[in-house]
Amino acid sequence: TTEDLQTLVLTTLDKSNTISDTKDLTFNDAPVDQLVLFGALASLKSKEMIDFTPIECVSWVLTEEGKQVAKDGSHEARVFEAIPAGDEGLPIAELQAKVGPSAKPGQGKAFKNKWISKKGANLVRLVDSIVDETQKDLKEIESTGTLANEKTLGELKKRTLIDKQKTTTYSVSKGPDFSVQIKKEATDITTDMLQSGEWKNATFKKYNFDAAGVPPQGGHLHPLMKVRQEFREIFFEMGFQEMPTNCFAESSFWNFDALFQPQQHPARDAHDTFFLKDPATSDRYPRDLMEKIKKTHEDGGDTGSIGYNYVWKEEEAQKLILRTHTTSVSSYMLHKLSEETKKIGEFRPAKYFSIDRVFRNESVDATHLAEFHQIEGVIADKNLTLGDLIGFMDIFFKKMGMDKIRFKPTYNPYTEPSMEIFSYHEGLKTWVEIGNSGMFRPEMLLPLGLPPDVRVIAWGLGLERPTMVKYGISNIRDLLGHKVNIAMIKDYPICRLDKKMGKELVGLSE
């Protein structure tokens, strides 16, 4: 077995330091199989216990016919033996019966060797005795793998008695981690090892980066990503541009202050929002914009508002957080839009959307996660009214299959008026909240630098709830997070034909 061979190699090395050629190794008095040995050597080498290099050599082996000759004598010798001494000899017709298949090749060779000749219809001996050189040569090849006489080797090969064979043997030396004992190598850390502390002393098997891995069966899109794509297509066909949402970490400035959310607002405390420790702050916002926003919060500035009447602090705005909504991106994009307006000297209407992750410090349950995806839409144009928002919502949600839409007044620090969006759920026979919307306040838009007659309507909804409805998932933790069953992603259908949500439940994950 491999273990026996490994022990043999290690004890031999221990005694004599090196093995110059493994062809000399014997196990139980038999030469070792070099192929099995190779496996044993490779495994010892991977543990750095030994080092080895191959020795290629060409040797001769007997063919089946050659083995027969080595055992029973050559065809020519058998023909010679079959002919009795004396003048009588043997009638040619009887040779076949005596030596079988050796008759034909044996006769020719025996004639050539001048051992026999023809006398009438008989074969007679020409010599008293012979030496069977062919048998002797084959026996030597059988034990040594070769012969001194190249010419004879060629002849024997021609007679198909021998064949060339390539063999690989090895020269072996001690490796940096040599020892006579083979260490047990762990392939994986187990719970037991962690609990007993055994992992500290364990030796781990090295990764074999050259090993051929399991071929992947193909990629699979997560259901959330598929539904996201459906929403993206609705936005694109309605002429919207996608906002860059690659900033998960955002300053409170863009997430709250720029949205006219006062610094004492409860959403800004650690119970609702994740704060970053390192780095804890960022001041990547324009100073002049900050001054305007500070003034607006404190006393309304030039907006005609009286503000919140408190002392605005920059430390609060600098606090880095995981964005709590994608409206942080909208505020940043609207500021960019106003910069662009100033640059080209003319306002151009804009339609923006985004679908990406947001984070809230919430306790996780069947319908809530600490991170989820928001769908956000923003339209900026002159003279937009609440009627435009309601009309637009009707079209947008119809495209998603929800045709009964209703609005209810609500409050957001950054929109006035604000409306929660409800959709009628045929199954539940009730109105279900699906999103939140409103017209951004002048206290937000004017400091951002937009022309005073520009109105901005906006709305937001969650991506998880519509996805759960479409895919029949009842626990949000089956959809997102560390408990998700990867096979589920693979097993869901590639496409659903019921693109419409119809009477089903959609809503904001809140």
List residues near ligand PHE by CB under 6 A.
Answer: 325, 327, 376, 412, 415, 436-438, 458-460
- 75 token code pair: 């065809």
290-295 contacts at long range (C-beta below 8 A, 24 or more positions apart)? 290/253, 290/314, 290/317, 292/447, 293/253, 293/257, 293/258, 293/317, 293/447, 295/447
Q: Which is nearer to ligand PHE, 282 or 327 (CB)?
A: 327
Output 66 or 435, the one with its CB closest to ligand PHE.
435
Cα separation, 251 vs 284, whole angstroms: 8
Q: Which is nearer to ligand PHE, 296 or 412 (CB)?
A: 412
Q: What order do you get walking across the sheet with 18-19 strand by strand?
A: 18-19, 162-174, 50-62
Give 22 or 412: the residue with its C-beta nearer to ligand PHE. 412
Tokens of 315: 């430390």
Pairwise CA distance, residues 410 & 412, whole Å: 7
Minimum gap (Å) between residue 500 Cβ and ligand PHE: 24
Q: In whole angstroms, how close is the CB of 183 to ligand PHE at the nearest point? A: 57
Residue for token pair 């071929």: 215
Tokens matching residue 387? 């009627």
Which of 73/460 has CB closer to ligand PHE? 460
In this complex, which beta carbon is closest to ligand PHE, that of residue 80 or of residue 359? Answer: 359
Instruction: In angstroms, give the least distance from the CB of 457 to ligand PHE.
Output: 8
Question: Tokens 């020269």 map to which residue?
Answer: 171
Please, what is the minimum distance in Å from the beta carbon of residue 411 to ligand PHE? 11
Give the nearest distance from C-beta 474 to ligand PHE in angstroms. Answer: 23
Q: What residue number has its CB nearest to ligand PHE? A: 460
- Minimum CB distance to ligand PHE, residue 295 (Å): 23
- In the complex with ligand PHE, the residue whose CB is nearer, 347 or 459, is 459
The contacts of residue 401 (CB under 8 Å, 6+ apart) are: 499, 500, 501, 502, 504
Q: Where are the beta strands (DSSP E) in 81-235?
A: 90-91, 116-119, 122-125, 162-174, 185-186, 203-204
User: Could you tell me the smallest distance in angstroms from the CB atom of residue 254 to ligand PHE?
Assistant: 13
